[in-house]
Chain A
Amino acid sequence: MSKMLKMVSDAEKSIVGFLKYLLDSGKVSGVLTLRQINESGSVDYGLVTRSSELDRAVPLMPVMPVNAAEILSNLTPSRKPLAVVVKPCELRGFIERIKREQGSLENLLVISQTCGGVVPMKVSVKSKNKTLTADYYKAVARGEIPDHIRPTCKACEYFVPMTADITVSMIGEAVSSCRIFLNSDKAVSMAEGFDVPAEDGELDVSITESHLVKRRNERSRLFKQIESEQKGLDDLLQVFGKCIGCHACSRVCPICYCTLCDFESRHFDQNVTLFEKELDQKGGLRLPPDTLFFHLGRMSHMSFSCVGCGQCTDVCPAEIDVSAQFMRTGEMTAARFNYVPGKDVSEEIPVMVFKEEEFQEIGE
């Protein structure tokens, strides 16, 4: 039986109170969380070492200005204890980074939530935060999928964090109450001394299971739609043809950490001599070239680790749903190795390991 804290105020206030306790008691030296930057509503991650700075904290706000996996990767290994509040896909992205030697869980107290989804940037920058979040939280409390969240969030099956020390129950939880679940010994000892005593309690599986059904239906619908529109090269060009090659998708991706991406290196520099050969054959050439090459190549490098956060679709200036494509292809690829990205930090990524007796039917 796991432990839980039953808080008295709404989730946002309760968590901020808990974070302040962690800082004031000296149990952590810093807290990483979302904070409201100014009155116009800009929200961004911040590392806070003074608890008064947590007054502006909005740890559970459904926005993702940057995938926190990137931040955690740069903050760790941490010599001092930190409490971090991140969404499940950000945590999964960070686990994938750790597998690539780009981070460490040491000295981190990871707080996450059963996630109702994140609002796309184009929506969150236009609307007033109060109405946005009020509607959102009501839908989440009812166990429904909110309307204005990222399409890939609607299709996400991994909304219950798998490796967090503490899980804040959001889906199906009444707006005015808050329960947080202590999943590890570290969480229990961190919560000792807090106003609210720990009691026995488990996350209500029936609520998460029924929500999972809704998410699975949406995922299935989304993937089937892509499959029906993907008959070959021409259809692929319909999807990716309008790509301008800005590489923003790669830049915001939690998995893409390479300081020098293969596709930005001299490796694939444009070569006028080679152009001449192609022009001989085709009579014309798109410039700059290699639009499709970037996406297919990136898929071969990281799609099996895609956590479906949706950052790429959020930032694409050509409005391509990159995330749906990578999520779908990634899931199909990872399935061949029975691999689930972000689930277990000790599960090696498919390209690093092999079994001698596997895939006997491949190659002959």
Chain B
Amino acid sequence: MKKNFVPRIAGFLCKWCSYTGADLAGTSRLQYPTAIIPIKVMCSSRVDPVFLIRAFLKGADGVLIGGCHPGDCHYESGNYHTRRRFVILQSIFNSLNLETDRLRLSWISASEGPKFARVCNEFTEKIKKMGPNPTRKNIFL
């Protein structure tokens, strides 16, 4: 593992809560790693598990989904579906002994700028310890 390994983490953030929270972290000048690449989605339930698989196989060192807290979804129930889909994907990764720790689901509300920064810091640290995703080097996927 190189000392200057900067992970590339895909972050699917829901517009109404998590993305706004991320914005708040930015305007509050909170420090968080550049590893996270934010991708705005209208709702966390827009994230098909296939997106996570695609990101993982294309070499993303980690994948983060940020959604509204359960009960607070802008579209009422989207995040409950997200939660179920995440469980399905976790289960698939576990059964095949792929690195489940590279996937993370987090509930971050629009006012939780500090939480967004904390989650990003924690997740990036964890990914740094795990090292680059082996899919980065494999050309036979």
Interface residues of A (CB under 8 A from B): 230-237, 241, 262, 278, 281-286, 289-293, 296-297, 299-301, 303-304, 328-329, 332-333, 336-337, 350-351, 354, 356, 358-359, 362-364
- Complex interface: chain A residues within 8 A of B96 (CB): 230, 236, 296, 329
Of the residues B71, B105, B106, contact of A356 by C-beta under 8 Å = B71
B137 to A, closest residue via Cβ: A282
- Complex interface: chain B residues within 8 A of A230 (CB): 95-97
Q: Are A329 and B92 in contact (CB under 8 A)?
A: yes
A-B contact pairs, 16 of them (CB 8 A): A233-B98, A235-B97, A237-B138, A237-B140, A278-B59, A284-B139, A286-B141, A293-B53, A293-B54, A296-B53, A297-B49, A300-B49, A351-B88, A356-B80, A362-B90, A364-B107
Q: Please, how many angstroms separate the alpha-carbon atoms of A235 and B97 in the complex?
A: 9
Q: Are A282 and B139 in contact (CB under 8 A)?
A: yes
Q: Please, how many angstroms separate the alpha-carbon atoms of A350 and B91 in the complex?
A: 13
Q: Please, how many angstroms separate the alpha-carbon atoms of A124 and B6 in the complex?
A: 56
Asked if B39 is at the interface of the complex by the 8 Å CB criterion, the answer is no
- Complex interface: chain A residues within 8 A of B91 (CB): 329, 332-333, 336
Q: Are B50 and A297 in contact (CB under 8 A)?
A: yes
Q: Please, how many angstroms separate the alpha-carbon atoms of A351 and B80 in the complex?
A: 10
Most buried by A among B83, B96, B140: B96
Q: Please, how many angstroms separate the alpha-carbon atoms of A358 and B84 in the complex?
A: 9
Q: Please, how many angstroms separate the alpha-carbon atoms of A180 and B57 in the complex?
A: 51
Of the residues A233, A358, A362, contact of B138 by C-beta under 8 Å = A233
Q: Please, how many angstroms separate the alpha-carbon atoms of A233 and B57 in the complex?
A: 10
- Complex interface: chain A residues within 8 A of B81 (CB): 351, 354
- Complex interface: chain A residues within 8 A of B135 (CB): 233
Q: Please, how many angstroms separate the alpha-carbon atoms of A77 and B59 in the complex?
A: 46
Q: Are B57 and A281 in contact (CB under 8 A)?
A: no
Q: Please, how many angstroms separate the alpha-carbon atoms of A278 and B57 in the complex?
A: 11
Q: Are A328 and B141 in contact (CB under 8 A)?
A: no
Q: Are B97 and A232 in contact (CB under 8 A)?
A: yes
Asked if B85 is at the interface of the complex by the 8 Å CB criterion, the answer is yes
Q: Are A293 and B97 in contact (CB under 8 A)?
A: no
Q: Please, how many angstroms separate the alpha-carbon atoms of A299 and B98 in the complex?
A: 14
Please classify how large the interface on chain B is, using the bins under 10, 10 to 19, 20 to 34, 35 or more.
35 or more
- Complex interface: chain A residues within 8 A of B34 (CB): none
- Count the A-B residue pairs with Cβ separation under 8 angstroms: how many? 115
Q: Please, how many angstroms separate the alpha-carbon atoms of A328 and B97 in the complex?
A: 13
Asked if B77 is at the interface of the complex by the 8 Å CB criterion, the answer is yes
A363 in contact with B67 given A235-B97, A329-B95, A354-B77 (CB within 8 Å): yes
Q: Are B83 and A362 in contact (CB under 8 A)?
A: yes
Q: Are A286 and B95 in contact (CB under 8 A)?
A: no
- Complex interface: chain A residues within 8 A of B99 (CB): 232
A332 in contact with B94 given A285-B139, A297-B50, A300-B89 (CB within 8 Å): yes
B136 to chain A, nearest CB (A): 7
Q: Are B141 and A296 in contact (CB under 8 A)?
A: no
Interface residues of B (CB under 8 A from A): 48-50, 53-54, 57-59, 67, 70-71, 77, 80-81, 83-92, 94-99, 105-107, 134-141
A362 in contact with B105 given A284-B139, A300-B88, A332-B94 (CB within 8 Å): yes
Q: Please, how many angstroms separate the alpha-carbon atoms of A246 and B125 in the complex?
A: 41
Smallest CB-CB A-B distances: 6 pairs: A354-B80, A300-B49, A284-B139, A333-B91, A363-B105, A329-B95
Of the residues B71, B87, B89, B140, contact of A241 by C-beta under 8 Å = B140
Q: Please, how many angstroms separate the alpha-carbon atoms of A297 and B55 in the complex?
A: 12
- Complex interface: chain B residues within 8 A of A332 (CB): 91, 94-95
Q: Are A333 and B139 in contact (CB under 8 A)?
A: no
Q: Are B57 and A292 in contact (CB under 8 A)?
A: yes
Q: Please, how many angstroms separate the alpha-carbon atoms of A359 and B107 in the complex?
A: 13
- Complex interface: chain A residues within 8 A of B98 (CB): 232-233, 236
Q: Please, how many angstroms separate the alpha-carbon atoms of A185 and B54 in the complex?
A: 50
B94 to chain A, nearest CB (A): 7
B62 to chain A, nearest CB (A): 15
A229 to B, closest residue via Cβ: B97
- Complex interface: chain B residues within 8 A of A303 (CB): 92
A254 to chain B, nearest CB (A): 20
Q: Please, how many angstroms separate the alpha-carbon atoms of A133 and B21 in the complex?
A: 66
A283 to B, closest residue via Cβ: B139
A157 to chain B, nearest CB (A): 18
- Complex interface: chain B residues within 8 A of A297 (CB): 49-50, 53-54
Q: Are B49 and A291 in contact (CB under 8 A)?
A: no
Q: Are A350 and B50 in contact (CB under 8 A)?
A: no
Q: Are A354 and B85 in contact (CB under 8 A)?
A: no
